[in-house]
Amino acid sequence: MKFGVVVFPGSNCDLDAYHTVKDVMNQQVEYLWYKEKDLKGADCVILPGGFTYGDYLRPGAIASLSPVVESIIKFAREGGLVLGICNGFQVLTEANLLPGALYLNLSLQFRCVFTHLLVENSQTPYTKLAGKKVLKIPVAHGDGNYYADPETLKRLEKENRIVFRYCTPEGEITRESNPNGSLANIAGICNEEGNVLGMMPHPERAGEEILGSSDGKIIFDSILEFWGEKR
Amino acid sequence: MKQEMWRQLGLKDKEYQMILEILGREPNYVELSMYSVMWSEHCSYKNSKRVLKMFPTENERTLLGPGENAGIVDIGEGLAVAFKIESHNHPSAIEPYQGAATGVGGIIRDIFTMGARPVALLNSLRFGSLKEDRVKWLFSGVVSGIAGYGNCIGIPTVGGEVYFDESYEGNPLVNAMCVGIMEHEKISLGRAKGEGNSVLLVGARTGRDGIHGVTFASEELGEESEGKRPAVQVGDPFMEKLLVEACLELIEMGVVVGIQDLGGAGLTCATSEMSSRGGTGMDIDISLVPLREEGMDPFEIMISESQERMLLVVEKDKEETVKKVFDKWELTASVIGKVTGDGMVRVRDKGRLVAEVPARSLAEEAPVYCPEMRFPSYLEKVSPLSLEDIPEPREAEEVFLKMITSPNIASKEWVYRQYDHMVRTCTVILPGSDAALLRIRGTDKGIAMTTDGNGRYVYLDPYLGGMIAVAEAARNLSCSGAEPLAVTDCLNFGNPEKPEVFWQFYKTVEGMSQACREFNTPVIGGNVSFYNETAKGAIFPTPIVGMVGLLENIEQRCTAGYKKEGDIIFLVGEGEPAPGGSEYLKHIHGLLKGSPPQLDFQREKKLQFFLREAVKAGLLSSAHDLSEGGLGIALAEGCFSGNLGIEVELSVGEDLRWDILLFGEVQSQALVTFDPQFQEEVARVAKEKGVSLKEIGFVGGKNYKVEVRSQEMNRTINLPLEEIKDKWRGAIECLVEL
């Protein structure tokens, strides 16, 4: 399977996504420069974390207008796998591939901590192998406070598109386990078809035990499993 | 020229005379400004230079010592690490967010200038008491400034320390350290070689920010300091992220002849230092410098400290290559002049000569002073300390709870959770242990790093305190299993023109030098920050030691937290805890007195050999040294990070009080835990290395249970871990946010 990792000016988790795909998952991977429209034949495109354009406007706003995003929108509409992590999630909401917005954390501070995620939907290409597990995956962001209007939220819940919620290590959804104040403890959502996933936590930072957790690998394993079945 | 002119710029009358002699004429205002910034203490080290010569600067691993933007040491397999620490105290005192942010930006530039990829940041912070509103503002501003810059640029902030003491009120310390990794052949130097080569200014545009920043940094803080906020620069981490990528790409291509960042003293410093090191000169035209605003005077352009700029020297036919790479990253690169052969820095404005001075005279020939020294009179008042000064507390648990909620001992999570400490996915030991540890991709190796410096100890005994700062840093690395390699230091002191301050400075450096020799950890670069004074007086003399160590195999590492129930707890190393200069004495009894703990190099080295050997052999579950708060606190810290309780029994003789045993401080001791099956093997290594081992308890249960017994008394602290951990974790947040 071939992955593409987008590089915008100010991306800084591009290296981590690249490393995880290449060295941990042993898959093909190429960087996709933001000015180019060519997705280089990637089967799954990752929009990595970072501070595109310094987040000086709304996070992800300027990046969402890049040439590469035009191609990604088309790719996603055709069913291609698109995974937005952290700043990548923000780009996806700005590009209208996912609904809602990511506000400043409730604490008004950046947060870098390990969080626990309850997998609410294990039918997506990204969570096939996750069952109803609790995953230990870190967050690192200043704007991760997910918001959507009440109607959208209802729809997300009804269509089972809330993929991850912040929870305690035991799987309880509590206020204390939510690092940013997001609506309904939302940590990640997908589009109607399930091929586009946006999540604030960083699975690529939790791919190896030496980093404190390998639960993030389950997400990449799921993608491979999905791809294998599809073919 | 009128006297007021040079005096306003911080030049002394004698220094002005020297300028007259060098030039053989009166300087114009541009030239005078250039001398004033280059001959400031901040740039010239005119007061400290002679003393710094005491430091050892080389061992078998050093590839580059002091004198360039950062020192470099070899770590094998063709790889090297570059690292340096620098202060940004004065700017942070009046504008905490930008002051701290640009401190981070500046130190990162020092590292990639050398051709190294910056991979980690650390910072060492000191503030006044958190009870003061202004201190809360400074503290939260500095932390968010560091976070704002480091997080955005994508370099993890992996370690450091924060301490609070009234002595830093009004003059906080913000020392930032950066570590980079490189291949040997990528080492780049700040040298302007090759007559006729092109000089390019790249990165951000030049504005009026940071005019006379170095002069401001070279005087005491006073009421009028608030008015100097324009001397503080404004940081743009996004721009710097692009600059890192563009510069490293160019260095990778091999087209860079010389490279230097623009920091203190801006273009003046970069042109004169690069020329001086290269034995050349430069001819530049400031009308070619891209400006942020109109109507800037030549002197402003020459000394502006606008951030995120670099000066490059490349061969004439490589100009286009540079522009292409910078275009890709949407940055500007402007040819502003060329390298000349006559040793002069010539500055033109649309061709018209506006300054012409010998490069060496700016960079190397600042006057060198030997400030007067005097034994400080306060030292007679602070010693000796008698036990009668310290009433014996009745309740052990009450004292313990007070200790773990002291901001100096409480968890620093409130700080480091605001820093991205995981980006680049190489951080193997996260903040909160003795040292941070990073893996090096493509190898089995790891590099450990730490910063240390106990200002209270140094205040009470500069020589001993200086030695301890180095010993403690080395011990922290050894606890993680790493072998100490070298040191970068940031020396924060008061006004060197005051003889008592200069005595402190001299003695501290003497002590540090001695320790650096003992541990074979040369000082490969650093920074001196003087004039850390307010109307209330000087700060504690505070040398910060940044130390980097090497772990040949990252699998052979160790952390401070307990790992599993049933492990046994041992105290390693000899030594008797004492109350002098301790956190216990200050926090519980309100006293700052006595002598810091004694340090015996032989004992210290044996302990560190033992720690490294035992970690390497995979015998230890945890290792943690005894420092602030003594044994009682070290025992608790293992519980906090491991989420495991302990049961410990200590016996004391008649000559040691229980409170001193638990909270007195000591050097050259550490706590280790291990599986009972390794006991024999651990004992063998200890015997071989000549250190003593004492079993004191075991890991288990849900409580912190420590009992101290003597023939006539018995004190027990028995508290639920969950409860005390909450208190320890929440203490700083409580103070800052309520």
Binned at pLDDT 50, 70 and 90, residue B228 comes out as low
In the predicted model, is pLDDT for residue B232 greater than 80?
Answer: no
Structural domain containing residue A149 = 2-230
Average pLDDT over residues B494-502: 96
The residue of chain B with its CA nearest to that of A52 is B238
3-state secondary structure of B44: helix
- A212, B430: Cβ pair inside 8 Å? yes
Tens digits of per-residue pLDDT, A19-31?
Answer: 999 999 999 999 9
DSSP conformation class of B567: -
Separation between Cα atoms, residue B554 and residue B217, nearest integer Å: 41
Separation between Cα atoms, residue B603 and residue B468, nearest integer Å: 13
- Please state, rounded to an integer, the average pLDDT across all residues of chain A: 97
In this structure, the strands spanning B523-529 and B483-492 are: parallel
DSSP conformation class of B288: G
Separation between Cα atoms, residue B22 and residue B165, nearest integer Å: 46
The residue of chain B with its CA nearest to that of A51 is B152
Separation between Cα atoms, residue B720 and residue B714, nearest integer Å: 20
Separation between Cα atoms, residue B609 and residue B463, nearest integer Å: 24
Nearest to A109 among B418, B424, B441 (CB): B418
Nearest to A211 among B148, B330, B425 (CB): B425
The residue of chain A with its CA nearest to that of B446 is A210
Please identify which of the residues B42, B90, B212, B587 carries the catalytic annotation.
Answer: B42
Distance of CA A4 to the CA centre of its chain: 14
Separation between Cα atoms, residue A112 and residue A102, nearest integer Å: 16
**Residue B406 backbone dihedrals phi, psi, to 5 degrees:** -65, 130
Q: Is B332 on the interface with A (CB under 8 A)?
A: no
- Alpha helix locations (H) across B655-708? 658-663, 679-689
DSSP string, chain A: -EEEEEE-TTB-SHHHHHHIIIIIS--EEEEEETT----TT-SEEEE--B-GGGG-SSTTTTGGGSHHHHHHHHHHHTT-EEEEETHHHHHHHHTTSS-SEEEPPTTSS-EEEEEEEEES-TTSTTTTTTTTPEEEEEEEES--EEE--HHHHHHHHHTT-EEEEEE-TTS---STT-SS--GGGEEEEE-TTS-EEEESS-GGGSSBGGGTB-THHHHHHHHHHHHHHH-
CATH number, position A42? 3.40.50.880
Which residues on chain B are in Cβ contact (under 8 Å) with A205? 422-423, 425
How close is the nearest chain A Cα to the Cα of B427, in Å?
7
Binned at pLDDT 50, 70 and 90, residue B229 comes out as low
- A110, B419: Cβ pair inside 8 Å? yes
- A51, B238: Cβ pair inside 8 Å? yes
Check: CB of residue B624 under 8 Å from CB of residue B567. no
Check: CB of residue B676 under 8 Å from CB of residue B568. yes
Instruction: Give the total number of structural domains in chain A.
Output: 1
In the predicted model, is pLDDT for residue A167 greater than 90?
Answer: yes
Unique residue bearing structure tokens 């074979």: B520
In the predicted model, is pLDDT for residue B329 greater than 90?
Answer: yes
Which residues on chain A are in Cβ contact (under 8 Å) with B441? 19
- A54, B420: Cβ pair inside 8 Å? no
Q: What share of chain B is helix, strand, coil (3-state, %, to 5)?
A: 40, 25, 35
How close is the nearest chain A Cα to the Cα of B621, in Å?
16
The residue of chain A with its CA nearest to that of B737 is A107
Separation between Cα atoms, residue B118 and residue A116, nearest integer Å: 30
Check: CB of residue A140 under 8 Å from CB of residue B422. yes
- A16, B417: Cβ pair inside 8 Å? no
Distance of CA B416 to the CA centre of its chain: 16
Q: Is B153 on the interface with A (CB under 8 A)?
A: yes
Which residues on chain B are in Cβ contact (under 8 Å) with A53? 238
Check: CB of residue A195 under 8 Å from CB of residue A201. no
- B154, A51: Cβ pair inside 8 Å? yes
**Residue B689 backbone dihedrals phi, psi, to 5 degrees:** -90, -5
**Residue B668 backbone dihedrals phi, psi, to 5 degrees:** 60, 35
3-state secondary structure of B398: helix
Separation between Cα atoms, residue B675 and residue A40, nearest integer Å: 53
- Alpha helix locations (H) across B201-290? 213-217, 237-253, 266-278
DSSP string, B693-714: EEEEEEE-SSEEEEEEE-SS-E
Predicted pLDDT at B263: 84
Nearest to B421 among A20, A112, A204 (CB): A112
In this structure, the strands spanning B332-340 and B352-358 are: unpaired
| Cα B505–Cα B511–Cα B516 angle in degrees, nearest 5 | 120
The residue of chain B with its CA nearest to that of A210 is B428
| Count of residues in chain B | 738
Q: For residue B298, what are its two tokens?
A: 């030549």
Q: For residue A89, what are its two tokens?
A: 């999630």
Binned at pLDDT 50, 70 and 90, residue B230 comes out as low
- A211, B427: Cβ pair inside 8 Å? yes
Residues of A with CB under 8 A from a CB of B: 9-10, 12-13, 15-16, 19-20, 49-51, 53-56, 109-113, 138, 140, 142, 202, 204-205, 207-208, 210-212
Check: CB of residue B628 under 8 Å from CB of residue B583. yes
- A140, B422: Cβ pair inside 8 Å? yes
Alpha-carbon torsion (B607, B611, B613, B617), positive or negative: positive
Q: Is B443 on the interface with A (CB under 8 A)?
A: no
Predicted pLDDT at B420: 98
Q: For residue B130, what are its two tokens?
A: 């958190």
Average pLDDT over residues B600-604: 97
The residue of chain B with its CA nearest to that of A141 is B420
pTM for the model:
0.96
Average pLDDT over residues A146-158: 98
Check: CB of residue B262 under 8 Å from CB of residue B303. no
Average pLDDT over residues B690-714: 95
Unique residue bearing structure tokens 């409730």: A106
- A16, B421: Cβ pair inside 8 Å? no
How close is the nearest chain A Cα to the Cα of B149, in Å?
10
Q: Compute and round to an integer the Cα radius of gyration of chain B.
A: 26
Binned at pLDDT 50, 70 and 90, residue B59 comes out as very high
Q: Exposed (0-12), middle (13-18) or buried (19+): which is A179, by Cβ within 10 Å?
A: buried
Tens digits of per-residue pLDDT, A178-192?
Answer: 999 999 999 999 999
Check: CB of residue B485 under 8 Å from CB of residue B435. no
Closest CA to B42 of B217, B300, B222: B217
Nearest to B425 among A19, A109, A113 (CB): A19
Tens digits of per-residue pLDDT, B371-429?
Answer: 999 999 999 999 889 999 999 999 999 999 999 999 999 999 999 999 999 999 999 99
Predicted pLDDT at B212: 73
The residue of chain B with its CA nearest to that of A113 is B417
Binned at pLDDT 50, 70 and 90, residue B738 comes out as low
Q: For residue B458, what are its two tokens?
A: 């140094």
- A205, B237: Cβ pair inside 8 Å? no
Q: Angle formed by the axes of helices B237-253 and B96-112, to 10°? A: 0
- B154, A210: Cβ pair inside 8 Å? no
Tens digits of per-residue pLDDT, A78-121?
Answer: 999 999 999 999 999 999 999 999 999 999 999 999 999 999 99
Predicted pLDDT at B711: 86
Check: CB of residue B119 under 8 Å from CB of residue B79. no
Mutate to test the interface with B, among A7, A8, A12 (most CBs of B within 10 A): A12
Which residues on chain A are in Cβ contact (under 8 Å) with B427? 211
In this structure, the strands spanning B622-625 and A186-190 are: unpaired
Distance of CA B390 to the CA centre of its chain: 34
Cα-based distances in Å from B314 to B117, B210, B260, B691: 21, 28, 12, 56
Q: Is B442 on the interface with A (CB under 8 A)?
A: no
Predicted pLDDT at B264: 83
Check: CB of residue B389 under 8 Å from CB of residue B591. yes
- Residue B589 catalytic? no
Binned at pLDDT 50, 70 and 90, residue A230 comes out as confident
3-class SS letters over B439-490: ECCCCCCEEEEEEECCHHHHHHCHHHHHHHHHHHHHHHHHHHCCEEEEEEEE
H/E stretch holding B582 reads none
List residues bridging with B162 in a β-sheet.
B125
Binned at pLDDT 50, 70 and 90, residue A11 comes out as very high
How close is the nearest chain A Cα to the Cα of B264, in Å?
24
DSSP conformation class of B317: G
Alpha-carbon torsion (B516, B127, B156, A170), positive or negative: positive
Which residues on chain A are in Cβ contact (under 8 Å) with B440? none
- For residue B614, give every residue at least 6 positions away whose Cβ sits within 8 Å of its Cβ, in sequence order, or none: B620, B623, B672, B682, B685, B686
- B238, A10: Cβ pair inside 8 Å? yes
Separation between Cα atoms, residue B411 and residue B454, nearest integer Å: 17
- Please state, rounded to an integer, the average pLDDT across all residues of chain B: 95
In the predicted model, is pLDDT for residue B178 greater than 90?
Answer: yes
In the predicted model, is pLDDT for residue B233 greater than 70?
Answer: yes
Nearest to A53 among B238, B427, B441 (CB): B238
How close is the nearest chain B Cα to the Cα of A152, in Å?
31
Q: Is B726 on the interface with A (CB under 8 A)?
A: no
How close is the nearest chain B Cα to the Cα of A140, in Å?
6
Average pLDDT over residues B708-717: 92
